[in-house]
Amino acid sequence: MKSINQFRLTTAALKRLYLDKIIISENSQNLNLILKRNPKLVIALNHGPMAGALAGLIGIADVFQINGGGTRIPFGITWRNFYDFPVTKQILSYLTQVDKGVNVDEASHLLSNTEFTDCFIMPEGELCNFGNGLDIQPFLSPRFIELAIRSNTPVLITAHQGSENWAWPLSINNKLKPLFKWLPKNMQDSFDESGIISIPKPYRRKLGKLYMSFYLYRPKLKSTDLAEEMNERLKQLNVEADKVRKQMQKMVTQLSLERTSKHSLKKNNSKSE
């Protein structure tokens, strides 16, 4: 198990390659206080496009180190099929600190009964392949909320904005949409909603500034409230997950407005000089 500080060389190298500066939103909650007051967290991070996960993880590792979270020991939940292939298995095992895709029971055990302090998850999952990188895609599953409830742990909603520049959003003409009927239902639903396929760009382009924001969310449900029957429980969890998604969208939208405002101000200042 490695702490975030033990990833500092990797974080610094990746930041040097891909980011010039990380800017925390003026509307963000105080991350330093959140980390001090909450020894364990379930961290729900927006994905952006497929390549955007890298920017989000670089950003959060960097700001955790700056805000007193360097000694925290996180693990991550990602698409379990990544662990089936030699190259991605090595990379993901290093980044997530687990060597397989874990389910809710396993994640709850890791968070409650081991030295791990935090669980990172990007609830949009592979649905990041659709949309413009700014609109939060539907969550694949609301069960990260169950993880938070069972572990008596709040959810740190984390938003980043800027990584959408690592993808080309391609709008699909309605006449061509039937060509994508082979997609699994959850992907089909997301594609139908947005009508956009996100085409990844090569990683060689530096993003420049990455904007980030944090918000602590405490689920209203308690473990004793959770229904035994899975379909009923999922309905309960979806209510909470929908609140997280709406808050995440609000944060990304605010970050985009702040970024546009700062860019316009800089442009106007340049003209007046």
- pLDDT of 204: 59
- pLDDT of 163: 92
For the residues of 23-77, what is the DSSP string, one character each? EE-TTS--HHHHHHH-SSEEEEE---STTHHHHHHHHHHHHHHHTT-TT--EEEE
- pLDDT of 265: 58
Cα distance between the two ends of the chain: 53
- pLDDT of 44: 98
Q: Buried (b) or exposed (e) across 40-53, using 16+ Cβ within 10 A?
A: bbbbbbbbbbbbbb
- pLDDT of 107: 94
- pLDDT of 74: 96
**Residue 226 is which amino acid?**
L
Q: Which residue has the tokens 């700056």?
A: 66
Cα separations in angstroms, 112 against 33, 42, 90, 121, 149: 22, 12, 26, 16, 11
- pLDDT of 87: 75
- pLDDT of 188: 85
Q: Which residue has the tokens 């959810």?
A: 155
237's tokens? 């969890």
Contacting residues for 104 by C-beta, under 8 A, at least 6 apart: 143, 146, 147, 150
* Residue 119 backbone dihedrals phi, psi, to 5 degrees: -120, 120
- pLDDT of 210: 95
Query: What is the Cα–Cα distance from 158 to 67, expressed in whole angstroms?
Result: 14
Neighbours of 82 (CB within 10 A): 17
- pLDDT of 94: 85
For the residues of 108-155, what is the DSSP string, one character each? HHHHHHSS--EEEE-TTGGGGGBS-SSSPPPPS-SHHHHHHHHTT--E
**Along the 273 residues of the chain, how does pLDDT read in single tens digits?**
899 999 999 999 999 999 999 999 999 999 999 999 999 999 999 999 988 999 999 999 999 999 999 999 999 998 777 788 777 788 888 889 998 889 999 999 999 999 999 999 999 998 999 999 999 999 999 999 999 999 999 999 999 999 999 999 999 888 888 878 888 887 888 888 888 999 888 765 788 899 999 999 999 999 999 999 999 999 999 999 999 999 999 999 999 999 887 665 555 555 555
